[in-house]
């Protein structure tokens, strides 16, 4: 019987292959996570700069849009596909 999921058999580890949908979902999720982490850091930097300048917080950076996330996912996918 073939292994299901992650099965550690000593020195070898078997994993089930991911479907194309799983791969696309993971890349899309990773792109979203990357962009929101970058956005969060920009927001925190903006807050600190406003605090240091004793200014009211205005004009916060915009959150990533769906189009931004898709564009980043396409960049990641292209990178993975290159030889």
Closest CA to 39 of 6, 61, 56: 61
For the chain, give the mean pLDDT.
86
Give the model's pLDDT for residue 13. 56
pTM: 0.73
Question: pLDDT-derived band of residue 57, with 50, 70 and 90 as boundaries?
Answer: confident
């Amino acid at each position: 019987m073939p292994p299901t999921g992650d099965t550690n058999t000593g020195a070898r580890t078997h994993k089930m292959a991911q479907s194309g949908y799983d791969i696309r979902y993971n890349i899309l999720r990773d792109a979203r996570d990357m962009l929101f982490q970058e956005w969060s850091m920009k927001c925190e930097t903006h807050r600190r700069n406003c605090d240091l300048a004793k200014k009211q917080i205005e004009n916060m950076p915009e959150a990533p849009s769906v189009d931004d996330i898709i564009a980043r996912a396409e960049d990641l996918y292209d990178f993975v596909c290159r030889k």
